[in-house]
Structure formats: structure tokens, C-alpha cells
Amino acid sequence: MEILFSIADALNMPVSMFNALLASVILGITSGVLGSFIVLRRLSLMGDALSHAVLPGVAVSYMLGINMMIGATAFGLLAAVLIEFIIKKSKIKTDTSIGIILSSFFALGIILITKAESGADLNHILFGNVLAVTPGEILQSFIIMVIVLGIISLLYKEFLITSFDPVVSQTYGMNTAFYHYLLMFLLTIFTVSALSQVGIVMVIALLVTPAGTAYLWSNKLSHMIIGSSCLGIISGIIGVILSFEYNLPTSAAIVLVSASFFIVSFIFSPKNGFFKAKGKEVTE
């Protein structure tokens, strides 16, 4: 805590702004890495579902007085399992299954939080407030970033193969389901760490917009991950500064900056942009 105060003072910057910038950088890196795999696996809807599905877990944790990470992670993984179960055991397609689970879990979470008489907390969870982020929340986000980077680095080859060709990876004896649910676990804990800062509503934008933008410029997964993380960091920094200067909602400002990068890339990307109808696929 004192270290953050000292650094902010040395930079002649309000502590809240420094904390917000630091949190945005951490979230930008983590979302850039995870978002790249989410986009490549066409799991953007799944990411949206998990970001909403953690709400009842947050409510249960609040009511029981336990760490929010425990309840939210449990409900996030439960949602992922239920979505896959419905797809495999019925004629229901993926998008329908995701829609059912997303709306059901989200509705349950709203009811539970309302019963807990915590309307202010609900608003905070839905929309976040990165300007009010605490050193403890920054530390939690940093730890999760280290976990995500560590696991992705150790299992990069496995995630790469299962992302591009699940059928071939199965023929080589790889447990594709394990890597799918491991990715869902990482996505869930990231979502929980981002709740207080950007809220449930904006989490999915942090994941898919920088990654989608980087995808337009990249032909290799490694380049896409680096580009996505850099875009996440830059969007976070610019968004925080704009919110301070013009009194804007910070999470919304971050998302709009990120969306602006996507629009520019969509138009002008030399390989995959609007004027290049058939771009190259990301390969490795």
C-alpha cells in the first residue's frame, strides 16, 4: 500500500489514477493472452456466458462470508459443464445452450444478490469501477496474471494444437476436453478478478475486442497474443486517462478506445481488413 502511495506521489499522480492504470495494464495483459485463444476457438459466446454465470457464485460467497473467488469459480465451471452436457445430450445447438445457461445463471445471481439486500454491490459487480480498485484487488489480479501466463507458457504447444485442430489432436491421444476446461477455469478466475474493475458487462469486451483486432494484423498465434496484450494495455491506459479528464465511466471508456482500434484495423489492415476480402488464417 505504502509503495503504491510512494510511486504515485513520485509521479505527481492521484493514487486512484495510478491504481487504475496499474490494474488496467495487468488486465490488459491477461485478457490479451486468454482472449486470443477464446477468439481462435470461436468461444466468444462462451466467454460471455461465463462472465455472467459467475454472478450467483459471487452472491453465494457474499451470503456465506467466504472468498468470492471460490463461489464464482465453482459456478463458472458448473456453467461450462452444463453447456457442454446440454449440447452432447440433446439436439440443442451451442448458441442456444449458451443462451439458456447464461440467462438462467444471471437471473439466479440477481435474485440472490437482491435477497442479500446488496443493491449497491450488484451495481458495482455489473459495471465495476476501476478508479476505486484497492491494492488487494490489484495484487489478486497480478497473481491471476502470473497463473495464466505460467499455465499458457507451460502448455502452449498443447493449447495451440487443440485450438486449431481438435480432431487431429485427439488422434494423437491428447485430452482435448481437459484443455478446454482448463481454459474455462482460467477464463473464470480472470473474470472474477476483473469484476470489481470493469464489471460483468464489460469483461467480454476486454477479452474479444483486442484479440479480434490483433487477429486482423497477425498470421501467427504468438504475434496475435503479443499484439492483443499490447492493445489491451494501451486501451486501458488511454481509457483511464480519458475518464479522468472528461469524467467518463472508466470501463466504458476503455472498451470504446479498444473498439476504436478495431474499427481502424477493420478498415486498414493490409492482410485481413475490409479491403482484403480473403486474409490469411492465423497458423501458429
The listed range with the strongest mean pLDDT (23-37, 109-123, 263-277) is 23-37
Q: How far apart are CA 20 and CA 27, in angstroms?
A: 10
Judged against a pLDDT cut of 60, whether residue 278 lies above it is answered with no
Q: Tell me the domains of the chain and their CATH numbers.
A: 2-268 (1.10.3470.10)
Q: What global pTM score does this model have?
A: 0.85
Q: What's the confidence (pLDDT) of residue 284?
A: 57
What is the average per-residue pLDDT within 125-131? 75
Q: Model confidence at 41, in pLDDT bands (50, 70, 90)?
A: confident
pLDDT digits (tens, 9 = 90+) for 228-255: 999 999 999 999 999 888 888 888 899 9
Q: What's the confidence (pLDDT) of residue 44?
A: 84
Q: How far apart are CA 28 and CA 33, in angstroms?
A: 9
Name the one residue in this structure whose C-alpha cell is 456466458: 49
What is the average per-residue pLDDT within 82-86? 90
Q: What's the confidence (pLDDT) of residue 271?
A: 67
Q: Model confidence at 273, in pLDDT bands (50, 70, 90)?
A: low
- How far are the Cα atoms of 5, 21, 239, 284 from residue 9, in angstroms, in the given order? 6, 14, 21, 44
Q: What's the confidence (pLDDT) of residue 129?
A: 76
Judged against a pLDDT cut of 70, whether residue 258 lies above it is answered with yes
Q: What's the confidence (pLDDT) of residue 17?
A: 82
What is the average per-residue pLDDT within 98-119? 83
- CB under 8 Å to 45, separation ≥6 — which residues? 94, 95, 98
Q: How far apart are CA 68 and CA 117, in angstroms?
A: 17
Q: Model confidence at 151, in pLDDT bands (50, 70, 90)?
A: very high
What is the average per-residue pLDDT within 77-102? 89
pLDDT digits (tens, 9 = 90+) for 162-221: 887 777 777 777 888 888 889 989 998 998 888 878 887 788 888 999 999 999 998 888
Among 46, 48, 70, 47, which residue's Cα sits nearest to residue 59?
Answer: 70
Judged against a pLDDT cut of 60, whether residue 6 lies above it is answered with no
